[in-house]
Structure 1
Amino acid sequence: MAEDLRLDSVIGIGGGVPNGLLLHPDGSTLIYPLGSTVIIRPKGDARRQEFLQGHTDKVACIAVSKSGRYLASGQVTHMGFNADIIIWDFETRQMVHRMALHKVKVQALCFSHDDRYLASLGGEDDGNLVVWNVELGQAICGSPTANDFVLTVQFFHNDSTRLVTGGNYNLNVWEFDEANRKVRPAECHLGLQKRVCQSMVVDERDEFVYVGTKTGDVLQVSLGPKLFKQSGPKPFIGQGVSCLIQLPGGDTLVAGGGDGSITLLRAATLKAACSLQLNGGAVTSVVLSEGPARDGSFLLYAGTARCNVYLVRFDARDNKLTSTQVQSCHHEKITDVCFPANYGDVFATCSLNEIRIWHAAECRELLRIQVSAKMPDVECLCIAFMEDGKSVISGWSDGKIRAFGPQSGKLLYTITDAHVAGVTAIVGTSDSTKIVSGGKEGQVRVWRIGQESQTLISSMKEHKGPVNAIQVRRNDSEAVSASSDGSCIIWDLARFVRNNSLFASTFFKAILYHPDESQLLTTGTDRKITYWDAYDGQVIRNIEGSKSAEINALAISADGEAVASGGADKEVKLWGYDEGHCFAVGRGHSGAVLKVKISPDLRKVVSVGEEGAILIWDYISPRSLSAPRD
């Protein structure tokens, strides 16, 4: 029986989740989702993380109760299936209830002020409002929300029987009758205002609801007569108001804009007092960290759609907002990860438009390398450190090979038109004088890297599909390439001809040498991990790597005793090399695992996935099947 692989730390944040960055009522703990995991950590220490794991797919919404006792999270799932809501006990970090009524997606969650009830909204494919008993984990009542979809829900501050929902051209106040198990809507009259309601906040006295709209203004609506009162600011906030909070005292609203702005509004007039522009796309979350002080100054945390977190300070004396970035990660799928040779303290990852280098122990970004802003859609598909550690080489979707200084991030050289359709695999030789690259068109090319020039030595074309992985022998005599055409070819790097071939009914996704180079390992869409003799190309062993999904990545430990795999089943698995058994499984990704690496010092396993998460696991040495159990 495989044991659980312990998740040590996670780099990233689910920046696209509306209001996904929360501050616990204790004032010192941040809560946010990443993929299918909910992360809890102290405000000032990104390294001390705790994980709530129970969702089977990406977390779509999250809420914390007013007392801080409960945490609720809702997920997305496949079309036609129920999407789960999980209620967690915050103190014990244990799951209290798992509830499932909504289809496909849970859009939004909100606790009542006394923690007795939880309101949940289904997504566009569901369209229902459900009120739950938090203590029992049971649905009390539900109702279709509107003719069009609804995006946000808020309980009143002082009345647990009333709540507000807003969405696509609808804003309703609901009366909740627990005795008769009914919830009844009353429409708010907005006059000529036709708005998509994206975010909202109810004031402390339950007199008004402030609604952030896709148009870019904030509506003030009286909750008693349910009438529109006023709107602002002018000019509108660019690309809509994606999140909205009201500061204690009720005088100030903070609006996060789809254009990346944070705007302070005076609640009485809805006029803008000041604003600040952040980098990283739409501001999807704003939460008060400290204050307001006597002079009106305060601190905020702001999260953006591109997975950046900022600490924003408002200085009342200068009437000015300033920001400091405190957390960042890739915001698109991560296509590759690599360690320098014989060094496990840092690793590099690549994604759309960028490469980042990380400190493994501190989960801290050391360097960010971004290509020109003129090419916003160019994707880095593969990376590797040269053996001498003097450069990071990378292959890009625009067909270029780019090399950067690993400490300065300076562009050292560019090989243009390296592969017509994109560079999909890259590796350096052990003497750091050559690069072997593979392309989407199926070619394998060898490049000589000099101080002043980079020249093509040979172009080898036998593959009929994309080259997904390349490995080179330590003595630089041979290279092996794996392709989606169902073949792996062993190339002679002196004569630049084929020495041998391996064939299977699969799209090969990964290939690697055992450290003693006597055997090769491959994997792919057939879900098998296959051992091959490196000299005659014969199959030695087949292992079923997954029961349900293709395997995308393989890595082998420096001592050759363990193999790590990752694939579309979202699991990271460790296998004993000699006995071929799975002895540890890590679950935490909400998308396919695209690459996995074991650190050279045998301390960590790093996996990256389609959801943009970097997960760092504690490495476990393989236990023999014949070893006695503790």
Structure 2
Amino acid sequence: MNFRHLSGSSATPKTLKFGFDQKSFVKIINKTAVSQSLTNATEQTLMRGHSAAITCTATNKNLMLTGETGYDSDVLLWDTETNQILQRFSEHDGGIIAVDFSDDDLFWCSYGADGWLHIVEIASGDIVCRQAPTASNELLKLSILKFGGRISDPRGFKLALYQLIGISESGLLVKIVFNPKTALIETTVINSANIKKSVMDCEFLQTDRNLAVAVTLSGDVFMIDLTTQALICQMQLPGQISVLNCVSVLKPNQALLQQRQAQQKKNIYQTYGRMEQLDEFVAIGGQNAVCILRGQQNNWQVVKRLNLAENVIGIDSDEAGRIIFECSSGKIQLLVPPDYIQAELCSHHTKRITSMQFIGDKLVCAASEDNTLRILDLCDYNPGLVINTGFTAKTPTYPTAVCLNEVQLVTGFSNGDLKIYDVENGDLLTQIQAADRGVIASISCMRNLILLGSQTGDVRVWDLRGQKIVDQQRPHTQPVCQVQLMKDLKENPLVISSSEDRYLCATVAGVRILDFQLGGPLRAFVQINGLFFCIGGRAVDIVDLKEHKLVDHLEFQQRLMSLCARSDSELVVGCDDGSVLRIGVNANKLSLIEAKVKVHGGSVDKISSFNGVVVSADSVGELVVWD
């Protein structure tokens, strides 16, 4: 069983980056950094090393920094060419807020929730500065921090001082000057008269690294001279964009950049004109829009504006002038100059997968807590059909179970509702409100009959033609984990159900005809050749329900969370530690074939298979395809 693809997105703001080779991009899925090709979604490289969710990223050539949340939080320095960890930095407590590289590739910095700013030498990994930014003898809490380069004097010559720019939690713009000789920083709050609004993001300009662009909560764009703290220009984007979340300054060609920097050096007797060489492209992402600006001296104009139906949370650009941005829905898109036509790279769920259902051997439908049903193409992993369930993020209702009924997707929700969608176009065909009293945990379909298993311990059989309940019972005292609808010898509906009360039950017309108790919560089962293969607690069991006997038992150290049959002779099991186990079945005897140890970032709660293809999903939002 080989790894094929990792799907998902944690929609972490300001973490999307271009790859160093300009052929890939880096996105974050909880604890994992994923490098994916811009042209071929099947080409992926995973970088795992964090024990908690990644909160911030920074790239510089082939190097990448990632910081995580949590009390004992680490910063990792990666070589993205070899996918190796070069440095692990564990000096912060409480989580990492920001990381970045200096322009000259000598230093990197990290700022944590503990209030400490660390500046580290890249070559040696030594800490050259450790200080908490303060203003007026009070600790400054930052939400954004960007590392620039050496400060230039009015003639354009570089000084032995480095400049950083940050944003405080209250939205103030903060300038930090680092002196390598004294290993100290000096912090100044930029409180120009016109900058009175909450700043959301900022970035150094490329033409002159003493200039910065900042975007605000009110939709304003500021250009600021960090040396004099003067406001150079201010503009508001057309179309009344209320919130601007992120900004990226497009990187010019290196030869052109060096030529510009050489032109900036003037005679000692001349006055330095800071704006006369300004020629910048700036990409800005905000609420329902992406704008591309061009600034020449004091004149700024909108080159391109894209109207979207969602919020842009991250944006980046490369030396080729391409722009990549991520939306809060998990959609990542690429803009290519000169026309900046949109090209969708991927569209993934942003929260935990609650249920999965194969649609043939080439498509799989995943229901997620982000209130979507997404159909993933297993051939090229390109974005497929996305069905919005109608609920919003403000409501606690989300899809919890999905089942394919011929050409219909039958979906159960956390509030007990039932909705049926057309699998081809995503249209809502019908719905039944309060189809169950509690959270619908599992669904099984057989033509016009739909079996629901609830977290209240109930099972119900609905007839879709009359939209009425034809069978209702409560065979369990704990939440139902899985149900299966079959027919008995008299063609009556036969209900098979498993529950956290450790029972596997078979009922007909409300009568409990067969049951078997296992040693732990019975979270899943599959039926092969008349026998039931179940996971209960930490063991896999083979149960002959008709004879009421245990055929075989295989125990593990991990808790077993999910189960599927890859074939009649092989089972695949997901574990709470992120491992995936392959278990062989030979003459009704169980044996471990292979253990994929901790291949997931969280507990593997859902797993499904069809024609040898296996899809597993965990508690932190990762969905992995195997074959």
Whether the TM-score (by the shorter chain) exceeds 0.5 is yes
Task: Specify which of 575, 583, 599 is matched with residue 575 of structure 1.
Answer: 583
1:213 maps to: 216
1:43 matched residue in structure 2: 38
Q: State the Cα deviation string for residues 262-288 of structure 1 (Å, max 9, x = none).
A: 123454356756532223333322424
Structure 1 residue 132 and structure 2 residue 123: aligned? no
Q: Could you tell me which of 26, 29, 34 is aligned with 2:21?
A: 26
For residues 545 and 349 of structure 2, what CA distance do their matches in structure 1 show?
A: 37
Q: Deviations over 1:453-501 (max 9, x none)?
A: 44422101233343221134586864322234x24341233x3311233
Which residue number in structure 1 is paired with residue 383 of structure 2? 365
1:171 corresponds to which residue? 173
Q: Which of residues 407, 410, 413 in structure 2 aligns to 1:393? A: 410
How far off its partner does 1:158 sit?
4.9
Distance 1:182 1:556, change over 3 A: same
- From 252, 262, 282, the equivalent of 2:312 is 282
Matched residues, number: 576
Name the CA distance, whole Å, in 2 between partners of 1:497 and 1:148.
Answer: 67
CA separation in 2, counterparts of 1:280 and 1:7? 32
Instruction: Give the drift of 1:400.
Output: 2.5
User: Quick check: which one's strand share is greater?
Assistant: 2
Alpha-carbon spacing, 1:512–1:214, altered in 2? closer, same or farther (3 Å): same
Q: Distance in 2 between matches of 1:270 and 1:504?
A: 71
2:426 corresponds to 1:409: yes
1:305 maps onto 2:328 in alignment: yes
Change (3 A) 1:375 1:411: farther
User: Corresponding residue for 1:497?
Assistant: 511
Mapped contact 1:53–1:588 kept (Cα < 8 A): no
8 Å contact kept, 1:85–1:106: yes
For the structure 1 residues 174 and 412, does the alpha-carbon distance in structure 2 shift closer, same or farther, using more than 3 Å as the test?
closer
Q: Which has the higher contact order (CA 8 A, sep 6+)?
A: 1
Q: Could you tell me which residue of structure 1 aligns to residue 452 of structure 2?
A: 437
Kindly state the Cα deviation for residue 86 of structure 1 after the two structures are TM-superposed: 1.4
Instruction: Read off the aligned partner of 2:580 and give its amino acid letter.
Output: V
What amino acid does structure 2 have at the position aligned with 1:198? M
- What is the TM-score with the length of structure 2 in the denominator? 0.83
**3-state secondary structure, aligned to 2:41:** coil
* Structure 2 residue identity aligned to 1:329: H
Alpha carbons of structure 1 residues 590 and 250: separation in structure 2 relative to 1, 3 Å = farther
Distance in 2, matches of 1:261 and 1:121, equals 30
Indicate conservation of the 8 Å contact 2:40/2:380, yes or no.
Answer: no
Secondary structure, counterpart of 1:615 in structure 2 = strand
Deviation at 1:555, TM superposition (A): 1.9
Q: For the Cα contact (< 8 Å) 1:24–1:31, is it kept in 2? A: yes
Structure 1 residue aligned with 2:285, among 256, 265, 281? Answer: 256
Q: Which residue of 2 aligns with 1:624?
A: none
* Secondary structure in 2 matching 1:251: strand
CA contact (8 A) 1:7 1:586 kept: no
Equivalent-residue separation in structure 1 for 2:189 and 2:434 (angstroms): 60
For residues 300 and 554 of structure 2, what CA distance do their matches in structure 1 show? 64
* Structure-2 change in CA distance of 1:43 and 1:497 (3 Å): same
- How far apart, in 2, do the equivalents of 1:8 and 1:139 lie? 39
Structure 2: 5+ residue stretches without partners: 152-160, 253-277
2:158 aligned partner = none
Aligned partners of 1:570 and 1:372: how far apart in 2? 32
Q: Tell me the SS of whatever aligns to 2:412.
A: strand
Kindly tell me: are residues 235 and 404 of structure 1, through their superposed partners in 2, closer, same or farther at Cα, counting changes over 3 Å?
closer
Where 1:44 maps in the other structure, the secondary structure is coil
From 100, 105, 112, the counterpart of 1:122:
112
Instruction: Tell me what 2:200 maps to.
Output: 198
Q: Deviations over 1:26-70 (max 9, x none)?
A: 3322122222222222221112111222222222111111xx121
SS at match of 1:587: coil
Q: Which amino acid aligns with 2:281?
A: T
Identity %: 19
Using the alignment, how far apart are the partners of 1:179 and 1:544 within structure 2? 61
Per-residue Cα deviation, 1:565-597 (whole angstroms, up to 9, x for no partner) = 233x33333334534447212535434433112
Question: Do the aligned partners of 1:39 and 1:50 also contact (CA within 8 Å) in 2?
Answer: yes
Give 1:189's aligned residue: 191
1:55–1:617 distance in 2 versus 1, CA, 3 Å: farther
Quick one: which of 50, 62, 67 aligns to 1:55?
50
2:130 corresponds to which of 120, 142, 145: 142
| C-alpha displacement of 1:194 | 4.0
Match of 1:623 in 2: none
Instruction: Encode CA deviations 1:328-351: one digit per residue, 9 max, x unaligned.
Output: 0112221111224xx422211112
Instruction: Give the Å deviation of 1:117.
Output: 0.9
One of 242, 247, 254 as aligned partner of 1:244: 247
Native 8 Å contact 1:233 1:272 kept in 2: no
**Equivalent position of 2:475 in the other structure:** 462
1:222 is aligned with what amino acid?
D
Unpaired segments ≥5 residues, structure 1: 292-298, 619-630
| CA positional deviation for 1:243 | 1.0
Q: Secondary structure at the match of 2:608?
A: strand
Q: How does 1:309-388 map to 2 (within 5 A)?
A: 309-312=332-335, 323-340=342-359, 343-351=360-368, 352-372=370-390, 377=395, 378-386=397-405
* Preserved CA contact (<8 Å) 2:514 2:545: no
Letter in 1 for 2:13: V
Give the drift of 1:512.
0.8
1:627 aligns to what?
none
TM-score (normalised: structure 1): 0.83
What do the CA deviations read for 1:407-429 (whole angstroms, capped 9, x no partner)?
23333433333103232210124
The answer for the alignment partner of 1:88 in structure 2 is 78
Shift of 1:217: 2.3
Name the amino acid aligned to 2:453.
G
CA contact (8 A) 2:533 2:540 kept: no
Q: Which one has a bigger Cα radius of gyration?
A: 2
Change (3 A) 1:8 1:150: same
Shift of 1:521: 0.5
Name 2:68's counterpart in structure 1: 75
Who is 2:441 aligned against?
424
Alpha-carbon distance between aligned partners in 2 of 1:21 and 1:129, rounded to the nearest angstrom: 23
Q: What SS is found at the alignment partner of 2:529?
A: coil
CA shift, 1:531, in A, is 4.5
Give the distance between the partners of 2:506 and 2:55, measured in 1 at CA: 47
Q: Secondary structure in 1 aligned to 2:411?
A: strand
Which string of whole-angstrom CA distances, capped at 9 and with x for unpartnered residues, describes residues 271-316 of structure 1?
756532223333322424744xxxxxxx422111211012235667
Conserved in 2, the CA contact under 8 Å of 1:21 and 1:287?
no
Contact 1:471–1:511 (8 Å) recurs in 2: no
CA distance in 2 between counterparts of 1:192 and 1:143 reads: 30
Q: Which moved more, 1:419-428 or 1:407-416?
A: 407-416
Distance 1:404 1:240, change over 3 A: closer
Label 1:566 to 1:73 Cα distance change in 2 as closer, same or farther (>3 A): same
> Following the alignment from structure 1 to structure 2, what is the Cα–Cα distance between the partners of residues 394 and 537?
33
Q: 1:601 aligns with which of 611, 615, 627?
A: 611
User: How far apart, CA to CA, are the structure 2 residues paired with 1:237 and 1:517?
Assistant: 65
Among candidates 79, 103, 109, match of residue 113 of structure 1: 103
Separation (CA, whole Å) in 2 of partners of 1:265 and 1:106? 31
2:4, 2:168 → 1: CA distance?
39
Matches of 2:342 and 2:431, distance apart in 1: 35
Q: CA deviation at 1:442?
A: 2.4
Measure the CA separation in 2 of the matches of 1:527 and 1:442: 22
RMSD, aligned α-carbons: 3.0
Aligned counterparts of 1:360 and 1:137: Cα–Cα separation in 2: 42
The corresponding residue for 2:564 is 555
Separation in structure 2 between the aligned mates of residue 239 and residue 539 of structure 1, nearest angstrom:
64
Q: Distance in 1 between matches of 2:11 and 2:319?
A: 18
The residue type equivalent to 1:133 in the other structure is: E
Q: 1:40 aligns to what SS in structure 2?
A: strand
